[in-house]
Every structure is written in C-alpha cells, then in structure tokens.
Amino acid sequence: MVGTRNYFIPRNLIGRQVMNTIVDKVGCSIGDFKFNRETNTIKFTVTCEMNDFPKIEKILERYDMLGD
C-alpha cells in the first residue's frame, strides 16, 4: 500500500543532504516543496510504500530532524 506524508527539514545544506539521502536510500517520490522563510524550513511531501516510512524516519532521527 502506498502512502504520503509531509516532513519538515532545515533550509540549509544539511537539510538538502538529508533529502538527498532519503532519495538515494529509499525508493520514494519527493515533491511539493514549500519554503518557509520565517522558520527557515523546507516542507516536502514524500510518497512511498507504507513500509518505507520507518526507513525515512530512521534517516531523519540520525540527523536529529524528526519532531516529537
């Protein structure tokens, strides 16, 4: 089953590296980028198989970018 989730990352080089790592390591589609200048974040939408979301969240945890 396929699902879609939104994630927020910092709008900097590390955030972009995290997004590239997600694309490289997980078979998913990333789109719908929205930049928020006030909070200096990028909101992006990920579409992938439901069992791939834990992989994405593990990558985000590794970089301390998974919100509580």
Q: What is the pTM of this model?
A: 0.86
- The residues facing 44 across adjacent strands are 7
CA distance linking residue 10 with residue 25, whole number of Å: 20
**pLDDT tens digits, one per residue of 15-61:** 999 999 999 999 888 888 899 999 999 999 999 999 999 999 999 99
Q: What is the DSSP string of 34-54?
A: EEETTTTEEEEEEEEEGGGHH
Q: Burial-class residue 1 by CB neighbours within 10 Å (0-12, 13-18, 19+).
A: exposed
Domains recognised in the chain with CATH numbers = 2-62 (3.30.1370)
Amino acid 68: pLDDT: 57
- 20, two tokens: 């590239």
